[in-house]
Structure 1
Amino acid sequence: MAPAGAVPPAPFVPVPPAAAQDPAAEPAPDAVRRRPRGRTSLIVLAAAVLGVAIGGAVGFGVQADRDPTPLGTLAHARLAYPAKPGKASDPLPVAQDRQVKTDGDLTELLLSAPKNADVGEGYGTGWMTLSDYASNYERPDYMFDDLLGSGVRRLAEASWAEGEHRETKINLVQYRSGDSLGAADHFAAQMNYLPYEEGADSEGDPIKGSLDGRYFIYPVQREAGYLPMYQARAIAVRGDIVMDIFVFDSEPIGKKTIRSLAERQLERL
């Protein structure tokens, strides 16, 4: 029994469990069921694809029913055709066909010796062996092997003497028919050292009528007990032939001398 004046405690009212609550009450947000998304997306995508296909088919049908649009006029002139197709071009005359010249007797393309020149023993015009040509170089063995493996076809030479001590020598080195690369390589190899040979220290002067041909005037060489030696050289390539010209003298050699020889020999090729 509670003492007098005390406030009685509030009666305990039990809370009913969730299963006993009013079923009409609104459920919690997390308890709401959501519709699956996959099915709606597939329906939208199928409708888009079907719309594109139907639109393309309709557009193709409309375009097919239209008349073709004519093309504009060409801006350039019409191509010209020969009156009689299949007719071959006339061959070049011998004077203009360089291959006919160089496939013949190569010695006939060499310059002739000047009047009153000495073409006696040790001089003249004719064929040249590979070893004879290689002997003109400081290392004949190396030059011989190099030329032998590079496709040399034949060599021709013309030489003569003038005055007391002047000698002129012209060499034509021809490579296999149509093999202009061998001639170009030979020329390039010579040009790699010619400007610096025997102290020349010069790029040389161009030969008229040649793309890269050059002629050189070398400084005098003196040795006790011997006459001074002057030297000039010209080298150029024309097709499958390398032209190589040497002039030696105990007197100075003018540029006009070697230049004239080189230009006239080049014309004959």
Structure 2
Amino acid sequence: MAGTAGVPEAPEIPEERPRARRRGRTTLLIAGAAVLGVVAGTCTGYLIQAEREPTKLASLSQPTPAQTKGPAPEPLSAAQDRRVKTDGDLRKLLLPKPSGVKTAKWLSSVDGWLDLPAYADTYAKPGQAFGSAISDEFRRAVSTGWTRGQADFEVRLTQFRQEEALGAAAVTSGNQSWAADESSTRSWPVPGTGDGMAYVHDKPKTRAGYLPQYYAEAYAWRGDIAVMIWVYDTKPVPKKTIMDLVERQMERL
């Protein structure tokens, strides 16, 4: 029967389900006998096992395997294991200063080493750079530099722990993005690096009272080390200059 408008219809009452058939007495007696049989068998098994001699368990400690005789193997050389080279004195992997140049007095490194605060202080926003370096798992950094005429050169190697992320690759990619965004910029891939790049900026930076400053830069990475190279001059920096520096530095890694 249809319900009145606005009032829901009452649900139909389902038919009562048929009750389950009760088990007969014979079925219960058979089931009870089966249960008693299982219990009796289990008890008999326990009694038999209790009269047996205990089985001796095998020893948990195993004999130490015999060591092979002969001299211990020689450790891998730096040519065979790259970590032998990169875990040592990182300054030895830096490009050597050319002959006849002046040592740079403007470097932030102390005896070639850059600790984390000094590393962050080389950026325009040191506080932000400090936090980013921690996130990137900064391990250590070294740098060298020199002055030849009016040109200044700096080569920096930054090493990362790379336990949670590929810090060297990430930092290189970020630096490349900043360099590529500069106006009047030409760029070239660095041979043998996969994704290393070199940049020459044809538009100089100018400040009142100062000579115009042209510059070039290069960024690449290998393993856990990021390579950063800068050249500043009062005249345009040739492509050959920056490419020669980054290629020779990558060969040392």
Task: State if a TM-score over 0.5 links the two structures.
Answer: yes
Q: Match for residue 92 of structure 2?
A: 108
Q: Match for residue 180 of structure 2?
A: 195
**Structure 1's 145 and 252: CA in aligned 2 closer, same or farther, altered over 3 A?**
same
Q: Match for residue 199 of structure 2?
A: 216
| Structure 1 unaligned spans of 5+ | 1-88
| Structure 2 unaligned spans of 5+ | 1-72
Paired residue secondary structure (1:193): helix
TM-score by length of 1: 0.61
Structure 2 counterpart of 1:157, from 133, 143, 147: 143
Q: Does 1:139 align with 2:125?
A: yes
User: Residues of 2 paired with 1:120 and 1:264: CA distance?
Assistant: 20
Tell me if the contact between 1:215 and 1:258 (Cα under 8 Å) persists in the aligned partners: yes
Q: Match for residue 62 of structure 2?
A: none
Q: Match for residue 12 of structure 2?
A: none
User: Residues of 1 paired with 2:232 and 2:176: CA distance?
Assistant: 20
**Deviation of 1:252 (Å):** 1.4
- In the alignment, residue 194 of structure 2 is paired with which amino acid? L
- In the alignment, residue 160 of structure 2 is paired with which amino acid? Y
User: Residues of 1 paired with 2:74 and 2:134: CA distance?
Assistant: 38
1:77-103 CA deviation, whole Å, 9 max, x = no partner? xxxxxxxxxxxx987542242211101
**Deviation of 1:140 (Å):** 1.9
Size of the alignment, in residue pairs? 179
User: Residues of 2 paired with 1:234 and 1:132: CA distance?
Assistant: 21
Paired residue secondary structure (1:113): coil
**Structure 1's 147 and 265: CA in aligned 2 closer, same or farther, altered over 3 A?**
same
Tell me if the contact between 2:189 and 2:195 (Cα under 8 Å) persists in the aligned partners: yes
**Deviation of 1:143 (Å):** 1.0
Structure 1's consecutive aligned runs of 4 or more residues displaced over 3 angstroms after TM superposition are: 89-93, 120-125, 177-180
Tell me if the contact between 1:156 and 1:172 (Cα under 8 Å) persists in the aligned partners: yes
**Structure 1's 161 and 179: CA in aligned 2 closer, same or farther, altered over 3 A?**
farther
Identity of counterpart residues, as a percentage? Answer: 39
Matches within 5 A, 1:165-204: 165-176=150-161, 181-197=166-182, 199-202=183-186, 204=187
Tell me if the contact between 1:178 and 1:240 (Cα under 8 Å) persists in the aligned partners: no
1:58-91 CA deviation, whole Å, 9 max, x = no partner? xxxxxxxxxxxxxxxxxxxxxxxxxxxxxxx987
TM-score by length of 2: 0.64
Tell me if the contact between 1:117 and 1:161 (Cα under 8 Å) persists in the aligned partners: yes
Which of structures 1 and 2 has the bigger CA Rg? 1
- In the alignment, residue 252 of structure 1 is paired with which amino acid? P
User: Residues of 2 paired with 1:193 and 1:215: CA distance?
Assistant: 12
User: Residues of 1 paired with 2:191 and 2:104: CA distance?
Assistant: 32
